[in-house]
Structure 1
Amino acid sequence: MGVAPLEIALHAPAQNGAKALTDLYFFYGTLCHEPLLAAVLGAPKPLEPARLSAYEVRHARDADGTDLGYPLLVEGPAGAEGGLAEITEAEAELLDWYEIGYAKARLAVTDAQGRTREAWVYLPEAGRWGVGQLWSLAAWAAEKGALATLAVAEVIALRGQVPMEQALGRYPMIRVRAASRLRAGVPRPAKLRFQPGADDVEIESLRTPYAKFFAVEDYRLRHRRFDGSMSATLDRAAFISGDATVVLPYDQKHDRVLLVEQFRTGPLARGDANPWSLEAVAGRVDAGESPEAAARREAEEEAGVTLSRLIAAPSHYPSPGAKSEYLYCYIGLCDLPEASPRLGGLQCEGEDIRSHRLSFDEMMALIETGEVENGPLIVLALWLARLREGLRAEALGA
């Protein structure tokens, strides 16, 4: 039998410097991952081990049975391991906003000393999700913990700007941006350029006035100057998108490439007389996907081409003054028989893509005339020109 959720008791704000009133909460599932809980609450919150009997933590499933990855607390014999913490009114408001689809109930839990204590627990609303297999915090944290923590921080930043339902609608792209931030955190070469320390960039405020498929982040910041001083406070904005992969399919035996053509909003917004663009195959790197896997997937989706081998080309920021986008670039070896232009792309994403097979020399002629004016394709064409002789010799020798 289910437990009816109770309304949380409201406390008057603390007066005259008195300690803020708190209430006891039991956390399970992803909120037992303390970095994620800190991202939700805005500060670390140590948890005291505790256990809830007659309940267990299981995977949520959607209507068609797809595993959604996050946990539900449901009645069951396994018991639920979790943690207890004292939560303030302000923190409770954050949790209530974050835990959409869940309702609070007051339940008896057992703490580490074996004492029975009453605590607020978030239970899923009846019928909202299906129930899957038992959920493991250790397995989730190892595979998804770092990504989820960054994604949740962006979700929490939207509080006060959009309703939580709207924030959840943006969550797939939020996860893509979080995965990009994880890749960006890997140390990069700095033999010539400035190597920053922890105090060389100070972010005074960060707002996200727009966030859908793309996002805009509005910063007030200071940074270290080359003379060693800190800059004045600067207003800066960045257009945020996830990392993308770009691949130029190349048939080394026949010295043939594949280009794709599609309508592009960027040239339209600039007022370009022709907003149809000749490009290399490209697309975003989904959360949980490697750039190499994305390159292979996009070649299949956009052009129906299977890549046999990927050769890394220079990865780069195409416009670092305004955009966060980072491009992972490849030459993709494949077979490209002569064929008429092929139509491709995913209809569910509104894609309308035509592919063209042409010789290497024809591609370079299009760059020279200006008909090809897509930066990543030009980078890949020049990189292929650098490697072409060796790749042709390899194919002819085989």
Structure 2
Amino acid sequence: MSLSKLYFFYGTLGHPPLLAAVLGRSPDLHPARATGYEVRHACDPAGAELGYPLLVPGPEGVEGFLAEVTAAEEEVLDWYEIGYRKDLVSVVDANGTALTALAYLPEDRRWTPGRLWALAEWAAEKGDLATLAVAEVMALRGQVSSEAAIARYPMIRVRAASRLRAARPRPATLRRNTVAADVQVESLTTPYAKFFAVEDYRLRHRRFSGGMSAVLDRAAFISGDATVVLPYDPVRDTVLLVEQFRPGPFARGDANPWSLETVAGRVDAGETPEEAARREAEEEAGVTLGRLIAAPAHYPSPGAKSEYLYCYIGLCDLPETGAGLGGLEAEGEDIRSHRIPFAQMMELIDSGEIENGPLIVIALWLARLREELRKSALGT
């Protein structure tokens, strides 16, 4: 039987679901308070908050939890707590008993302490997202170093935010009304994870006849949710398209890998699809959008990809200015925008010059709404 040690958990590890995601179990937690310390936001040298807490000397005191941790779990915690060191701290439990426990303190001079950090505020705003993200980080243990796993964390957070949105109740009037036991995962590995990830599953799923399938090998290409928006000027009956080089058509061997598309981009963790649509319109085309009209959101390739697209028509003012150049140079974007009549866009779809699926979906949705949008804009 392995010996256990007493640990004091504060900050994000003081959030029981996240601690369970790290340890792989829900330990017995006992409230305690560390005196002579306080929790503050970690900041970079420029003073920008980094989203995680630091335990530093101070008069405020720190509320947290005590838990027994096994030697094997200590190894897991050490792998996870990169940039922190273990040390003994003085705590007082709920009965007023003074104890010493191990805690993770920041390495000297690695980060700058910022304002006071509040667990309740963090948990309400980011707890669910962080717990999902940490679960993906911990799944990488044994496959990559902790440094490599943490380097992937920004994209892991994007995928976690997508999973949170996906978990919302979905309509099921014709298709199966799914329950948790309908899919049973026997194993999951992640052989590749950088900007995108690949998840390799061995799973069973409920068959329409009622029984479970045999164990199936299935892989999915994992990316975060994205937003696509077609800027439309109903007064001028003009749309804005963007053009850029695309590696997908190039890898297929397409004779012309430059693609006519909508404004599009990833929905970052912490922003809504609508906010992403407005941000991308500014970044890619310098256009400020007014009212957003939702078009059908959808999975473009559900047989292989987790990507989910939030689609919009963005009403705006599009005076004739000719082609424009845009995109973020830091992200290697080289984007040309075109302001063209609606009728010309439909001709390009007919000719096959436009072959981008999301653009075609939104163009057809605009065709459905266009007459009413023009009447409203022109006051007729």
Give the alignment's TM-score, normalised by structure 1: 0.95
Give 1:349 deviation, angstroms: 0.6
Identity, % of aligned positions: 74
Root mean square deviation, CA, Å: 0.8
Indicate the SS of the match to 1:59.
Answer: strand
d(CA) in 1 for partners of 2:208 and 2:248?
A: 35
1:6 paired residue number: none
Q: Is the 8 A contact 1:259 1:355 kept in 2?
A: yes
Indicate the SS of the match to 2:297.
Answer: strand
Q: Determine if the alignment matches structure 1 residue 245 to structure 2 residue 227.
A: yes
1:299 paired residue number: 281
Indicate the SS of the match to 2:53.
Answer: strand
* Counterpart code for 1:214: F
* Counterpart code for 1:122: Y
Aligned match of 1:389 in 355, 371, 380?
371
d(CA) in 2 for partners of 1:260 and 1:71?
A: 41
Q: Aligned runs of 1:167-316 on 2, under 5 Å?
A: 167-316=149-298
Indicate the SS of the match to 1:322.
Answer: coil
Aligned match of 1:82 in 64, 70, 76?
64
Indicate the SS of the match to 2:27.
Answer: coil
Q: Displaced runs of 4+ in structure 1, greater than 2 A?
A: none
Q: Is the 8 A contact 1:251 1:336 kept in 2?
A: yes
Q: Is the 8 A contact 1:220 1:235 kept in 2?
A: yes
d(CA) in 1 for partners of 2:131 and 2:89?
A: 27
Give 1:125 deviation, angstroms: 0.1
Give 1:207 deviation, angstroms: 0.6
1:345 paired residue number: 327
Indicate the SS of the match to 1:274.
Answer: coil
Q: Is the 8 A contact 1:278 1:374 kept in 2?
A: yes
* Counterpart code for 1:83: F
Give 1:59 deviation, angstroms: 0.5
Summarize deviations over 1:226-285 as a string: whole Å, max 9, x none.
000000000000000000000000000010000000000111111111111000000000
Summarize deviations over 1:163-182 as a string: whole Å, max 9, x none.
11111111111100000000
Give 1:115 deviation, angstroms: 1.2
Give 1:111 deviation, angstroms: 1.1
Structure 1: tracts of 5 or more residues without a match:
1-13, 15-19
Aligned match of 1:121 in 103, 108, 115?
103
d(CA) in 2 for partners of 1:396 and 1:137?
A: 52
d(CA) in 2 for partners of 1:64 and 1:215?
A: 31
| Count of aligned pairs between the two proteins | 380
1:321 paired residue number: 303
d(CA) in 1 for partners of 2:259 and 2:299?
A: 20
Give 1:108 deviation, angstroms: 2.4
1:70 paired residue number: 52
d(CA) in 2 for partners of 1:340 and 1:396?
A: 24
Q: Is the 8 A contact 1:34 1:46 kept in 2?
A: no
Give 1:80 deviation, angstroms: 1.1
Bigger mean CA offset, 388-397 vs 277-286 = 388-397
Q: Determine if the alignment matches structure 1 residue 143 to structure 2 residue 133.
A: no
Summarize deviations over 1:302-359 as a string: whole Å, max 9, x none.
0000011100000000000000000000000001011121000001111000000000
Indicate the SS of the match to 1:199.
Answer: helix
Give 1:110 deviation, angstroms: 1.2
Q: Determine if the alignment matches structure 1 residue 162 to structure 2 residue 144.
A: yes
Q: Determine if the alignment matches structure 1 residue 102 to structure 2 residue 92.
A: no
2:342 paired residue number: 360
